[in-house]
């Protein structure tokens, strides 16, 4: 019987999602026969870890507290195996412009974009700056925080007059906003998990069709607000191209154990990399659990295999 500690909660905007994810991961691991506990992240955590000495720690934390690499640095100092990517990999992935640059250099298409700090936005004069951005990138555009998850702060704009409000919305979640050329197409998420032997496998793509046209926070976590097709309604060749692009992103960013890659498939069946996530949502409406089920795997077995893999990749 494995002794596993699941970390969930934290202080990010995605705290509630993390708590739901953590409970579902713990339930699946318990069904696999493990002794599993869920703890929040608070000042008593390190003392509790030292006293209980779990065999494996599974951080199911979203937002900066779980995805910017800082917590993973702390876990490495404890010398206890944990689920997920190493700190450096987390930092590269958490910064969307950096991740896009690395994945783009590896040969995967990614939308052209501009990252603007709040200070630059103010100092250069917002009207002239935004006019230059629209002239360069065209319309429509996607505006979102450069660091963050669950599509918090995301706005799709189709006219230049909407851009200032979209920037304010993005800056509410961070000091840097990413403005990207919006690629029209089929939005898909491809989850990648490693088995107990370390073999990374792409799971069936999940096609995302939000009722309102934009896969924002509400569309992600409100049951019935989005329609999902698993596997995605793609030709076999397009599905293979999307899977290959996702695996390239996984390896380029140095992920391990599990992650999710978000893509747009355009009218020419070309996959475009949007972003990746080292701590995917694991709730009842989340994409990785859907993909596990579509692959014909039991979540309890798949998650238990990830735990076994973590035991072979010690800090």
Last residue of a domain, one of 132, 149, 181: 181
Calpha distance 61→64 (Å, rounded): 8
Please write the tens of the pLDDT for every residue from 19-53.
Answer: 999 999 999 999 999 999 999 999 999 999 999 99
What does the pLDDT read at residue 150? 63
Single out the residue of 182, 170, 96 nearest to residue 126, CA to CA.
170
State mean pLDDT over 243-264.
Answer: 97
- What is the CATH classification number for the domain harbouring 149? 3.30.1490.20
Q: What is the CATH number of the domain that holds 262?
A: 3.30.470.20
In a shared domain, residues 164 and 291 = no
Instruction: Give the mean pLDDT of the chain.
Output: 93
Clarify whether residues 57 and 147 are in a common domain.
no
- Structural domain contains residue 292: yes
Q: Report how many domains make up the chain.
A: 3
Q: Which domain holds residue 290?
A: 91-109+184-310
**Do both 206 and 155 map to the same domain?**
no
Instruction: Classify residue 269: in a domain, yes or no.
Output: yes
| Per-residue pLDDT tens digits for 79-125 | 999 999 999 999 999 999 999 999 999 999 999 999 999 999 888 88
What residues are labeled active site? 14, 150, 221, 260, 262, 275, 277, 281
**Co-location of 102 and 132 in the same domain:** no
Least confident of 34-48, 221-235, 298-312: 221-235
pLDDT band at 11 (very low <50, low <70, confident <90, very high): confident
Which is more confident, 65 or 227?
Answer: 227
Top-confidence range, 14-23, 128-137, 241-250: 241-250
Q: Is 157 found in the same domain as 134?
A: yes
Statement: residue 65 has pLDDT above 80: no
What pLDDT was estimated at residue 37? 95
pLDDT tens readout for residues 170-201:
999 899 999 999 999 999 999 999 987 888 99
pLDDT at 293 over 90: yes
Are residues 206 and 103 both part of a single domain? yes
Judge if 153 and 202 occupy the same domain: no
| 175 assigned to some structural domain | yes
Same domain, 198 and 273: yes
* CATH code of 40's domain: 3.40.50.20
- Residue 197 is predicted with a pLDDT of 81
pLDDT tens column, 145-172: 999 776 788 999 999 999 999 999 999 9
| Residue 268 counted as domain residue | yes
pLDDT at 314 (0 to 100): 57
User: pLDDT confidence of 247, banded at 50, 70, 90?
Assistant: very high
Whether residue 159 is found in the same domain as residue 295: no
**Could you tell me if 97 and 243 lie in one domain?**
yes
pTM for the full model?
0.93
Q: Is the pLDDT of residue 64 over 90?
A: no
- Say if 264 falls within a structural domain: yes
pLDDT at 315 over 80: no
User: Are 141 and 221 members of one domain?
Assistant: no
Claim to verify: residue 224 and residue 277 sit in the same structural domain? yes
Q: What percent of the chain has pLDDT over 70?
A: 99
């Amino acid at each position: 019987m494995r002794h596993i500690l699941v970390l969930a909660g934290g202080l990010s905007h995605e705290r509630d999602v993390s708590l739901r994810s953590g409970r579902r991961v713990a339930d699946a691991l318990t069904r696999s026969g493990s002794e599993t506990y869920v703890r929040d992240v608070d000042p008593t955590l390190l003392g509790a870890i030292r006293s209980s000495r779990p065999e494996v720690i599974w951080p199911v934390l979203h937002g900066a507290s779980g995805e910017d690499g800082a917590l993973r640095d702390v876990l490495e100092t404890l010398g206890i195996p944990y689920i997920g990517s190493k700190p450096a990999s987390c930092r590269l992935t958490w910064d969307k412009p950096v991740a896009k640059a690395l994945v783009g250099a590896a040969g995967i298409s990614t939308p052209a974009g501009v990252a603007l700090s709040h200070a630059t936005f103010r100092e250069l004069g917002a009207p002239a700056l935004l006019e230059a951005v629209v002239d360069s990138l065209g319309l429509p555009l996607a505006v979102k925080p450069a660091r963050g998850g669950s599509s918090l702060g995301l706005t799709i704009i189709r006219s230049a007059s909407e851009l200032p409000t979209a920037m304010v919305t993005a800056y509410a979640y961070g000091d840097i906003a990413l403005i990207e050329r919006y690629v029209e197409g089929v939005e898909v998420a491809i989850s990648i998990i490693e088995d107990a032997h370390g073999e990374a496998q792409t799971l069936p793509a999940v096609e995302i069709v939000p009722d309102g046209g934009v896969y924002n926070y509400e569309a992600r976590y409100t049951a019935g607000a989005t329609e999902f097709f698993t596997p995605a309604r793609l030709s076999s060749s397009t599905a293979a191209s999307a899977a290959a692009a996702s695996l390239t992103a996984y390896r380029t960013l140095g992920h391990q154990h599990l992650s999710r890659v978000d893509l747009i498939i355009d009218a020419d069946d070309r996959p475009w990399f949007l972003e990746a996530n080292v701590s995917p949502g694991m709730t009842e409406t989340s994409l990785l659990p859907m993909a596990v089920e579509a692959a014909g795997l039991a979540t309890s077995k798949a998650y238990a295999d990830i735990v076994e893999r973590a035991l072979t990749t010690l800090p």
